Chains A and B, each alone.
Chain A
Amino acid sequence: MAAPLTLLLIVAVTIRAVLFRSSLAELIPERVEVVSPLNAWKRVVEGLALLDLGVSPYAGDVFHETPLIIYFFHFVIDYAEIVFMVMGCVFLLQFRKQKYALEAERYPLDCLELIRTPKEMYYIPLKVAMFYLLNPFTILSCVAKSTCGLNNAVIALFILCTVKGSSLMSAIFLALATYQSIYPLTLFAPALLYLLQRLYIPVNWQRSSFWLFTTQYTFMYLGSLCVMVCLSFFLLSSWDFLSSVYGFILSVPDLTPNIGLFWYFFAEMFEHFRLFFICVFQINVFFYTIPLSIKLKEHPIFLIFMQIAIISIFKSYPTVGDIALYMAFLPAWNHLYRFLRNIFLVSVVLLACSALFPVLWHLWIYAGSANSNFYYAITLLFNVAQILLVSDYFYAYLRREHHLTHGLYLKRKDGSEATLVLK
């Protein structure tokens, strides 16, 4: 296991190093699919340059990173490439200790083929690492030196700590992830559910142990978040960063094109309805948490995957780095392959859109022969494909659970083969 992993690591680092030294290293950080106003490397350098000039980085509208990033990069700015490569490698660490799905004993006999063998499970960490490190999206994001890689590493560490069961570290990393961009707040619920499950505390409103643990975890999380916010205040002695970072994420003033749904929608929005639709779109990210938590309360890891996917699709400034994060989880569920319905269509559409993005961008911005609608159309298609992918995996997961409880080969009342529908 160690040998294939080190080999993978070497290959990944080599690819990234080669790309860093090639001419693509100037082209990729300019691509709007790979960087956004929130995590572009150019803006980090600009913020540090403003700090050197004696002007607060938050005085203008160029820099939207949190102050801890300023702290961090102030010291490692010369080694930026190495930092980003290391972050990629950190990610795969979290799957060293992969969970082994605790399968219940009382399953109908014909479900044996559904249950994963330990042999399969053994190779999952390697596959996940491969999916992440060799994913072209991740490589592009790393070569662009987008701070998305840092955010992904923090989320990965959070998942690792949650899976290992250490609630304090999990709370700290979740607070760090939330501090970086607000959306990981929704991961609070699955983390809580997992830790409760691990400690064998049932999710029951009347039980005091449930409330005890919940409040404990909440306090740890809020406490670390407050500490980070206060540390940021002391860096520049002002609260400007709140409106520059969180106000920016929530109110979407910058309409730079990206692969998300927000930019063109708000470019063409009537002023009168702008606030309403901002609220609708932001609530859209958060409000799937509670229904999904109720439905998937016994399967918190899958819930984490669903939440991360929903954040990546519906956040205000998505990039391909965010997509790479949830795609890395897909090998963990390759036992669901037999229940996926649209996987061929989805993968083809995703590939086609990824190829068309740079083409239509060039036609709009450089050649002038297309207009913004072309790029917008591909954005829509890309997001539809992602939504289909996520909902397909959800369907497959639910169907497998149904089969595990009711048997794989179902029969109708008259004995003939049955079809399952959602009703």
Chain B
Amino acid sequence: LWKFMSAFQQCLSPWKFQHPLSQQQFAEEERQWEATEVKEADRVPDTMQTPDVPPLTPAKDQFQEELVIRPLHSGDIYASFQFRTMWDTDFLRGSKVSHYRLFPKSLGQVISKFSVRELHISFTQGYWRTMQWGQPFLPSPPGAELWVWFQDTVTDVDGAWKELTNVLSGIFCASLNFIDSTNTVQPSASFKPLGLGNVTDQRFLRYAVLPREIVCTENLTPWKKLLPCGSKAGLAVLMKSEKLFHSSFHSQALHFRPVCQDWKCKSTVWELRQTLNVVFDLHTSGQGKRGERSLKCYSMVIMQACVVFPLQGELFELSPTTPLLSQAVVLGDRRTYSVYDLTNQATFGQTRSLNMLLRWRAAESGDMLRPLLHGERYVAGYGLQTGEIHTLMYNNHPYRAFPVLLLDTVPWYLRLYIHTLTVTSKGRDNKPSYIHYQPSKDRLRPHLLEMLVQLPPNSVTEVTMQFERALLKWTEYTPDPNHGFYVGSSVISALVPSVVAMDTNSTRECPLFSSFFPCKEESSYFMRVYTEPLLVNLPTPDFSMPYNVICLTCTVVAVGYGSLYNLLTRTFQVEEPSPGLAKRLANIIRRLRGVPLL
């Protein structure tokens, strides 16, 4: 009981009021928090203030959790859990870390052993429908995706990558051990570090995606175990497998990176974010129509957490209402959020639990903000010999053109022909300004194509490329060869200019000295869009035929050998008819007697 209580205390104490604020306000909060910490440090005796020895301040690990529930225009519910652990340690300097408080030990050991600077791993089931659901908070491709930036002290990056994938495969109970050189690439521009640091040499970056990977409860359980309280306390209590997987889209991810400790950025802490994005389908959760929609999926008692709802008064209403409202611009979309702070006793009122009710007002949804950047991909052509990959990129901004980076990883058995690459926008040729192409090597590495394409405003850009399908050796096919082979999603990364922040009408109210250059807060934001994965059929040999094929081919070779052998070693002779049986026997006896033959 004592252990549980102390763990419980640890979960409770370092929490803060959490709501999605802009960077500046957040920093302000941090400064206030910082003040109390400094006061504690002052009590440490002066002899311990030498710079070489790390000061014996109490570890400043922090943990925050948040749940954002957003009703989507199609009637589905989008729930996004985020758990953030800040780990204040300095394993780079060689000091062995042995004391783990909030940060999970299994992951910490892996990170320090393989000198990982950034780790991003996601497991997704389903495909995010951008046109119906808008932009997700954290995009992820179907299947498993893993990309890692190693420290520049690592000498053998490939060896470290191989071991890391195997260890992670064990931690997450996923078949990440299928990641090998045939599906690993080193993108040169698309995956720059998301945390601090100025190492951008792509030799230390590895990116791999397994589109065939299936996510199930076996992956969720170890992921939940990485949280400080596991699934015993906090928002993680709400994560029930049978509800989470009964959804249209399920994505669990883990992001590890170095961030600034405070706004002065004198030291770095390591941030671990675990995110879970789920989209509950309107129809599969048993409620066919929109009417009253109570969040039956969260039927557990919420004791402590912070739940956030985006508020759109005309569309629906919440009960119980909360006085806390905040506005935030996320992905260029300014929304008002109603915040339920569960650390505050006032939220609960009389009862010890919070039961949310979401009631839709109107029967049909209003106009959804169209996502500015959207991608689609498909395979064209017929037959099993050739094909064409078409990637469509939609720029829905009314008047701004912006460049996007397109990253394509295609397995080696689809032989791409780069001379057939065409990029067209609005019917005209649009030449990419930067192409980085690494051709594949059979059975060694995949194709890597990175392009910087300028998308004209309000247009569709089509990228096409022809490929040829290879015939593989019979052992290289998966057990269900006619299902096809998966090609991982393309990644479209862009700095998208925000429509909201670029509102030119608002310059009328502003003073003239500030309104000349379009420099509002968050005038452009970083967005990453993943296209659909492809499923491509390859020609198959007959798997029941190895013995027969070997026999028949060797027979043909033997026919050639035999006839040539005969002609080479024999000569023409006149054929003498052989004598009858009686005469032959008589000749044998005569030979024995020494008498001349017949």
List A residues at the B interface (Cβ < 8 Å): 30, 32, 42, 45-46, 48-50, 53, 55, 59-62, 253-257, 261, 263-271, 281, 284, 288, 291-292, 295, 313-314, 364-366, 368, 371-373, 376, 380, 383-384, 387-388, 391, 394-395, 398-399, 402, 410, 412-413, 418-423
Contact = CB atoms under 8 A, between A and B. Distances in A.
A421 B572 contact: yes
Contact of A420 (B473, B540, B574): B574
B415 A395 contact: no
Contacts of A391: 560, 563-564, 567
26 contacts: A50-B439, A59-B439, A60-B438, A61-B442, A257-B471, A266-B473, A267-B472, A268-B474, A268-B546, A268-B550, A270-B546, A284-B557, A284-B561, A313-B560, A365-B384, A365-B539, A366-B383, A380-B556, A387-B563, A391-B563, A402-B571, A402-B572, A410-B574, A412-B574, A412-B575, A421-B575
Contacts of A372: 471, 539-542
Contacts of A53: 418, 435, 437
A292 B568 contact: yes
Contact of A265 (B438, B439, B442, B549): B549
Lowest 8 CB-CB distances: which A-B pairs, in order?
A60-B439, A49-B419, A391-B563, A422-B570, A366-B383, A387-B560, A268-B546, A268-B549
B42 interface: no
B21 to A, nearest CB: 46
Interface of B: 382-386, 412, 415, 417-419, 435, 437-443, 447, 470-475, 539-542, 545-546, 549-550, 552-553, 556-557, 559-561, 563-564, 566-568, 570-576
Nearest to A53: B437
A313 B559 CA distance: 13
Contacts of A49: 418-419
Given A46-B417, A314-B560, 20 more contacts: A46-B418, A50-B437, A60-B439, A62-B415, A254-B442, A256-B471, A257-B471, A261-B556, A267-B472, A267-B549, A268-B549, A268-B550, A269-B550, A281-B557, A291-B564, A292-B564, A365-B385, A387-B560, A395-B567, A412-B575
A55 B439 contact: yes
A344 to B, nearest CB: 18
Contacts of A60: 438-441, 447
A42 B417 contact: yes
Given A49-B418, A266-B473, A372-B541, A59 B570 contact: no
A421 B576 contact: no
A229 to B, nearest CB: 23
A61 B445 CA distance: 10
A366 B539 CA distance: 10
Nearest to B566: A422
Contacts of A61: 412, 415, 439-442
Contact of B549 (A254, A264, A295, A399): A264
A383 B539 contact: no
A408 to B, nearest CB: 13
B574 A261 contact: no
Which of B443, B472, B473, B559 is packed against the most chain A CB atoms within 10 Å?
Answer: B473
Given A45-B419, A365-B384, A267 B473 contact: yes
A254 B568 CA distance: 34
Contacts of A388: 563
| B383, B385, B474, B560 — most chain A CB neighbours (10 Å) | B560
Contacts of B472: 255, 267
B564 A422 contact: no
Nearest to B415: A62
A199 B514 CA distance: 97
A46 B468 CA distance: 13
A372 B557 CA distance: 20
A388 B562 CA distance: 11
Contacts of A269: 473, 546, 550
Contacts of B418: 46, 49-50, 53
Nearest to B543: A268
Contacts of B568: 291-292, 295
Contacts of B415: 61-62
A70 to B, nearest CB: 14
B171 to A, nearest CB: 32
A55 B437 contact: yes
Contacts of A419: 574-575
Contacts of A376: 549
Nearest to B386: A30
Given A371-B542, A420-B575, A263 B382 contact: no
A378 to B, nearest CB: 12
A280 to B, nearest CB: 8
Contact of B576 (A267, A366, A413): A413
Contact of B417 (A62, A266, A384, A423): A62
Contacts of A371: 540, 542
A371 B439 CA distance: 30
Given A295-B568, A365-B385, A264 B541 contact: yes
Contacts of A45: 419
A30 B473 contact: no
A284 B561 CA distance: 9
A270 B540 CA distance: 16
A269 B474 CA distance: 8
A412 B573 CA distance: 10
Nearest to A366: B383
B476 to A, nearest CB: 10
A42 B416 CA distance: 11
Contacts of A383: 556
Contacts of A373: 542, 545
Contacts of A288: 564
Contact of B553 (A59, A265, A398, A402): A265
A418 B574 contact: yes
Contacts of B563: 387-388, 391
A264 B182 CA distance: 24
Contacts of A59: 438-439, 441
Given A421-B573, A421-B575, A384 B541 contact: no
Contacts of A257: 471, 539
A22 to B, nearest CB: 20
A368 B385 CA distance: 12
Contacts of B441: 59-61
B545 A268 contact: yes
B576 A412 contact: yes
Contacts of A423: 570-571, 573
Contacts of A55: 437-439
B439 A420 contact: no
Most B Cβ at <10 Å: residue of A295, A387, A413:
A387
Nearest to B418: A49
A253 B471 CA distance: 10
Nearest to A362: B383
A398 B572 contact: yes
A101 to B, nearest CB: 20
B559 A387 contact: yes
B560 A267 contact: no
A422 B567 contact: yes
B576 A261 contact: no
A42 B417 CA distance: 8
B510 to A, nearest CB: 48
Nearest to A256: B471
A419 B553 CA distance: 34
B431 to A, nearest CB: 13
A163 to B, nearest CB: 25
Contact of A62 (B383, B438, B439, B545): B439
A366 B471 CA distance: 15
B549 to A, nearest CB: 4
Contacts of A410: 574
A398 B572 CA distance: 9
A350 to B, nearest CB: 15
A373 B541 CA distance: 8
A213 B116 CA distance: 68
